[in-house]
Amino acid sequence: METPGVGPSEAADALEAAEASRSGLARGVVIPKWTYVWLGAAVAVQIATAAVGLTWGQGSAPWWIAVGVVVYGAVAWWQLSRFRRANGVRLEGFASRVVFGAAAMATVGYLAGLVAAYAAMTHGWWWLAAPAAAAGGVAYAVSGRHWVASYRREPARLATAESAVWLVALGVLALGGLVLLVIGH
């Protein structure tokens, strides 16, 4: 469908200008200082509290798990607020992949850290659970850095988040697995 008075060359120029604008915005995205450190630390706390909650008994498990979720939620909200203030925009890909860990590397790092911390706790190696949780947090932070670098190179492909349906399905599966772990323990 053509716009009256706009020819193919003008439309092509407008599309090229829009792409240049998007690329400029992507290269200019500001990541507030310590964002990755804060996110990695919050994830490490969440992993550690989940491992403790899952191994120290059914009565205290929900409290330990809740503490980790609250700490992570507060840090996530704060980092998203800082990002919006620094850039004046919301970036769905940043929120979903960097902050909420939907990137493959973040998910794998988180799960590996959680499994290692849980396994260490079940074997009584509490001193090994902390480095396992920290490793999961580091992997999460490195994943965020990697995603931002990739986004700056390919903003058209990476600007959007995963579909809400997919994220809800993953959330329901994760919550169901957590409930089964708490109940079965």
Sorting pLDDT into bands at 50, 70 and 90, what band is 148? very high
Per-residue HEC secondary structure of 19-60 comes to HHHHHHHHHCCCCCCCHHHHHHHHHHHHHHHHHHHHHCCCCC
Kindly report which listed range (52-56, 85-89, 159-163) carries the lowest average pLDDT score.
Answer: 159-163
pLDDT band at 170 (very low <50, low <70, confident <90, very high): low
For 109-125, write each residue's pLDDT tens digit: 999 999 999 999 999 99
User: pTM of this prediction?
Assistant: 0.79
Give the pLDDT band (50/70/90) at residue 82: very high
Mean pLDDT of 102-110: 90
CA separation, residue 105 to residues 59, 61, 133, 144 (Å):
33, 27, 15, 9
pLDDT score, position 136: 97
**Chain segment 26-47, per-residue pLDDT in tens:** 677 899 999 999 999 999 999 9
CB 130 within 8 A of CB 48: yes
